[in-house]
Amino acid sequence: MRARRKLIFMAAIFTALAVAASRAENETSAPHVDGTTTQPVQPQASPPAAAKEPAPPPSVTVIGAREAHGVLGRDVRSPMDEDMGHIVDVIVDRAGVVRAAVIDFGGFLGVGSRKIVVDWNALHFGRVADKSDSITLELTKEQVNAAPEYKEDKPIVVLGAAGSLQPFEFDH
């Protein structure tokens, strides 16, 4: 009998707590007799996420002024000092490796010229310290004259020095 009273007492306390919690929830949003309302207490927000860490600074390489130069627009000459045109583009493969150079060859003032592609290894950059210095191409004028013309979005035929070419991989 004593255990039964204890169980009823515990149930009563539990019910009273549940009712009190329910009233407290209703009172926070219901108006009081004096017309004011109590706003529910919001749980304290966690502090904002830590600011994103800044990216580390980029690496920097300093190349001496005489060590490297741009090649676009540079004149190309044969070993016999014949005018072979000038470099107008550089072709890289999917891995970003330079494979060839596009040379605007022949013509006069852009009339009658055509673009050909030569293997990067057929070019020699021995004297490029000044913009007026030319790049030497290991081919003759006759070999370059016989090369097929370069056209964008078409398979590229690359003219190379004897035995130095490896084929491009391209989608059919």
* pLDDT digit string, tens, across residues 123-171: 988 766 666 677 899 988 888 888 889 988 888 888 887 644 444 454 5
Asked if residue 83 is part of any domain, the answer here is: yes
**In the prediction, which pLDDT does 6 show?**
56
Residue type (1 letter), 110: G
Task: Indicate whether 110 and 153 sit together in one domain.
Answer: yes
Task: Indicate whether 84 and 27 sit together in one domain.
Answer: no
**In the prediction, which pLDDT does 3 show?**
56
For residue 21, give its domain range.
1-42
Here the CATH number for the domain that contains residue 137 is 2.30.30.240
Q: What number of other Cβ atoms are within 10 A of residue 70's Cβ?
A: 9
Task: Indicate whether 38 and 79 sit together in one domain.
Answer: no
Task: Indicate whether 152 and 97 sit together in one domain.
Answer: yes
- Tally of domains within the chain: 2
* Most confident range, picked from 16-25, 38-47, 95-104: 95-104
Residue predicted with more confidence, 88 or 21: 88
> 76 - beta bridge partners?
85, 135
Asked if residue 61 is part of any domain, the answer here is: no
- Listed in sequence order, the DSSP H helices in the chain are 2-29, 141-145
